[in-house]
Amino acid sequence: MSDAHLYLVLIPESLVASQLEPEAFGAYLAVGSTSRSRGQAIYFEVDPAFRSDAFPMSLVTESALTKEDGSPKNSLYLSAYRVLEHIPIRAIGDLFLATDDGRVLRLKRGGDPPHEERLLHLYQELCPVRPGVASTLDAVDFGRFITASENPVHFPRLVYSELILRELASDPQHGRIGELPYTNLGHLRDGLTLLQAGSGKKNKMIYRRLPEDLSFRTVRNGFFIAEQGGHAYYPMPTVEQLEHEHYEWWKSAQVLRGG
């Protein structure tokens, strides 16, 4: 049907059909149902013409997406398992970040992130797995490494973000923590120090899983999708842009209220 939207929701990983526009869909995910806990949402819009034998696309019909009273149906789940691996980057559109009170920020795909001469990075993997990983690889090379088929553990696709480190990026042992909100900071310092020492390791797992919500204010360069042979980058606006152009979203994003 022409007015159906397809969304790749990252947490939990799922493919959802809906008649809701992207911003309304984000508000629905965050606060629109009395049957779920309040919480943020991260999701991509998928090309509505996308088709794959991996999903029951025949279910996306006008009757399935319309309630008995004729109003649009909020969601029709097509899959909640191994979704990302079956959706190529070319079919994935804008990225949306919904705060836990339903305010939505749209991020459009950009070019490559700016190159920087820095040794240490921190990445939050978002889909299909969710550990936090310290690395000596820049964001693009990190994606190439994680999706390289020659590695014993790899993924066909990965969505992740780069997080701020502030002084820990250059001085993991003694750098000031400042406003960094991460837990188990001693383990983070130790992992970064190990990588800085040139032990031969490129990556070090710091956190086994993402906390219930990602603190959007910790996102550094933006969000990435990596696959073998390619990547997509969704740059995060600067703090100045967020304060002047997306003030209500930014104000909400700085508070984690929990479910």
**135 and 186 in contact (C-beta within 8 Å)?**
no
**162 and 216 in contact (C-beta within 8 Å)?**
no
Residue 257 has pLDDT above 60, yes or no: no
Per residue in 146-184, pLDDT (tens digit) is 999 998 889 999 999 999 999 999 999 999 998 898 988
- Name the more confident of 212 and 68: 68
What is the predicted pLDDT for the residue at 46?
98
**43 and 94 in contact (C-beta within 8 Å)?**
no
Q: Write b or e for each residue in 153-172: b if 16 or more Cβ atoms lie within 10 A of its Cβ, otherwise e.
A: eebebbbbbbbbbeebbeeb
Per residue in 81-104, pLDDT (tens digit) is 999 999 999 999 999 999 999 999
Quick one: tokens of 44? 């991509």
Q: Flag the least confident range among 20-24, 84-88, 131-135, 179-183.
A: 179-183
pLDDT band at 24 (very low <50, low <70, confident <90, very high): very high
Domain ranges of the chain: 5-107, 121-238
Q: 168 to each of 98, 180, 181, 222, 252, how far by Cα in Å? A: 29, 10, 13, 19, 27
